[in-house]
A and B are shown apart, each in its own frame.
Chain A
């Protein structure tokens, strides 16, 4: 199987706190992989390390078998570092979020971040800026009108695929919550990604909206032939669509497997429900 994203021994330490501890995971082409864990387990921190918001303290990340992010304990961390695998990684490499998006990783946000002053159409169109071939001069003097027309046509096509065409001229923020989420995913798709990273896509949704979203994510994978990594709290959604699940607790991976395996894994049940104390 072709690997799309591979995390090797990612450790994220803030001061003395280890938020993510030696996390390794792999996402293969065409899969939907979920990263779950109880509150404060370090899911979002891991997500931020993957998307270039944070620089991991130690470890490496490969995108399509190419090294994109790598770090070793440096500076103050040299003394403070309390994680494992110290000395295993030597290269220092980091990428800003925009570079990662250019490589083909697009993300959404937990608290929806749409461009507020723009319409639905413009929101998606703006994401097309990344793949432009025009430069500042040709764009300013509208010499790239062919490319511009193509961008607009593609945007309309995408909006039709995600079923938002009827609201294309409405202000993005005036949409109902479920549609805003959909639009955010559509905007990410407009950057032509191969890997879609969803940060709690069902946050703040009611059961019915969650169900619709589950269906939507599934159709997105089929229509766009895309790989998806998601963080989520809604177990219904996770168990429904994931091919594989990673469970972390206190920053450490405690289980990995198919939804059925995870559901019956004692460690996972303990992490979520707490360990029953033996009666004396």
Chain B
């Protein structure tokens, strides 16, 4: 971490405030002018969901050095916990029509259900963590991956049908849009609620990383033996990190359910975990802002910018190769380039700062002028 002088600190705060205000203005504009089917809305919503989960995975993999692959499992628990308590009262019978009379026949407020989803994921992770956190590196990854897959199968078991609706989706879920439809915030109901949840979650994780516990996590990542010799209780701190990470993965899962509007177990496969891990790597292991940035870029390219590659016309070029599936080819190539040439990701383990951007912009004319002068000097020689 770089230490800023007091004057720089002040400047940094000002820059941060300006950026934050600009972001809010843009979001309000998007919410007021877009329709719910607009691509930008979808991308920003999904980006928020992913950002939460990616940052939570970074807390575990990047800051504590625990290579866990259970994130999709904890998202699954969060999504189901949220869905079970959020089915629309009027259509509950219809949703559960294949599974029998639903056990839970009331609806919780959206925020309560989301927090409950996080707590459920945290509880499960605590139980899984007891045996699993004794393992190291690859073994931990395999064990958590296994647990996530087991959870996904169990939740589809038809014996639980009256709660989880078996392998059928739970639809007709409560959403921010429905909730805010008749209020004064109706025009702010697409993207802003997602951003609020994401900012709170990521904010808490960031605060934790910058606290004395965060330093203990980093110590465990850097050298377990030395950390233990410095009096850091390994079992306890690994558990704290694991449970916190899962809590926010659960919230991410719940938010995913809000985004989609219905829940089934199918998307929460290990492929989802790999996708999240990939974004962590692209953003930079150990960089929170990198994770956030990468989440939005990833979702935007996957869902939006590279769409044209599938449907015939990309950046104004029409070609017969641009047909179904080509997007994934290009996407894979981009990922390979990243892994081969930018192994530290976009940000490495540094953090993105608005002051840095401000300086870069301020110095840009000077730099260009400098280049000109240099080339002139070279010509004269």
Contact = CB atoms under 8 A, between A and B. Distances in A.
Interface in A69-109: 96-98, 101-102, 106-107, 109
Contact of B230 (A96, A117, A139, A191): A191
B21 interface: no
Contacts of A106: 229-230
Interface in A176-203: 187-188, 191
A251 B229 CA distance: 25
A126 B219 contact: yes
A172 to B, nearest CB: 9
A136 B3 contact: no
Contacts of A169: 3
Contacts of A136: 208, 213, 240
Given A128-B212, A139-B212, A113 B207 contact: no
Contact of A116 (B3, B212, B223, B240): B223
A129 B222 contact: no
Contacts of B232: 98, 126, 129-130
B229 A109 contact: yes
Contacts of B286: 117
Contacts of A117: 218, 221-222, 286, 349
Contacts of A96: 228, 233-234
B229 A107 contact: yes
Contacts of A116: 222-223
Nearest to B230: A127
A114 B229 contact: no
A122 interface: yes
A113 B231 contact: no
Interface stretch (A140-148, A234-242, A269-277): A140-148
Given A109-B226, A113-B226, A116-B222, A191 B231 contact: yes
A32 interface: no
A151 interface: yes
B64 to A, nearest CB: 13
For the complex, would chain B's binding face be called helix, strand, loop or mixed by DSSP majority? helix
Given A116-B222, A118-B222, A119-B1, A187 B230 contact: yes
A136 B237 CA distance: 10
B215 interface: yes
A98 B212 contact: no
A44 interface: no
B226 A114 contact: yes
Given A118-B218, A136-B240, A130 B230 contact: yes
Given A113-B223, A119-B1, A130 B231 contact: yes
B226 A101 contact: no
A245 interface: no
A126 B215 contact: yes
Interface string B177-206: 000000000000000000000000000100
A250 interface: no
A51 interface: yes
A136 B207 CA distance: 11
Contacts of A101: 229-231
Contacts of A127: 230-231
Contacts of B204: 140
B265 interface: no
A213 interface: no
A115 interface: yes
B330 interface: no
B212 A148 contact: yes
B228 A122 contact: no
A115 B221 CA distance: 9
B212 A151 contact: yes
A131 B319 CA distance: 66
B213 to A, nearest CB: 5
Interface string B264-300: 0000000000000000000000100000000000000
B212 A132 contact: yes
B229 A97 contact: yes
Interface string A2-14: 0000000000000
Nearest to B222: A115
Given A96-B233, A125-B215, A130-B230, 16 more contacts: A96-B234, A97-B228, A101-B229, A109-B229, A114-B223, A116-B223, A117-B218, A118-B222, A122-B1, A126-B219, A129-B213, A129-B232, A130-B232, A148-B211, A188-B230, A191-B231
Interface of B: 1, 3, 204, 207-208, 211-213, 215-216, 218-219, 221-223, 225-234, 240, 286, 349
Nearest first, the 5 A-B pairs at minimum CB distance are A130-B231, A101-B231, A113-B226, A115-B222, A139-B211
20 contacts: A96-B228, A98-B232, A98-B234, A113-B223, A114-B222, A115-B219, A115-B222, A115-B227, A117-B286, A125-B215, A126-B218, A129-B213, A129-B219, A129-B232, A130-B230, A140-B207, A140-B213, A144-B211, A144-B212, A151-B212
